[in-house]
Amino acid sequence: MPLSEHEQRLLEQIERALVDDDPKFASSVRTGDRRLKARHKLQLGVLMVVVGLAVLVGGAVGQSFLVGALGSLIMFGGAALAVLNYKTATGAVEAGSSPAGGRGPAAAGRSGRGGRVGRQPLKNRLEERFRRRYDQ
């Protein structure tokens, strides 16, 4: 379950305070930026797709089934690597989470007849209510 924007800000504040208080300890504990690693994996995945496509075309031109199959496997592996790391690399936000504190889509999605168009799942609404009570 990903952290909300509020939780991410709090975590970043804690990290900055740790670096300010004890930079030596913070540098020994720091594991690196997850987004940077995910971007590298995303780039590697795209490169694998391009190389796999070249191998596939080479296999088709050379009329070699094994080379074409190898190209297909390389392309599939690269596409899987890229898709699995896309969300982390780009910092994409989930569709179910709302940056406006949970009031936007849930309240605006109701129609005049009490329809359920655009409503958040019950679990998300209950979590938002709990967070609001806990923050007060």
Question: Using one digit for the tens of pLDDT, what is the confidence trace for 13-52?
Answer: 888 887 788 777 776 666 666 778 888 999 999 999 999 9
DSSP string, 43-86: HHHHHHHHHHHHHHHHHHHTT-HHHHHHHHHHHHHHHHHHHHHH
- Predicted confidence at residue 79, as pLDDT, reads 94
The length of the chain is: 136
User: Domain coordinates of the chain in residue numbers?
Assistant: 1-30, 35-135
Q: What is the pLDDT of residues 60-73, one digit of tens each?
A: 999 999 999 999 99
Position 35 scores a pLDDT of 78
Query: How far from chain centre, in Å, is Cα 119?
Result: 23
Tens of pLDDT, residue by residue over 74-122, are: 999 999 999 998 888 777 655 444 444 444 444 444 444 445 556 678 8
**The amino acid at 66:** L
Other C-beta atoms closer than 10 Å to the C-beta of 56 total 19
Q: What is the pLDDT of residue 99?
A: 47
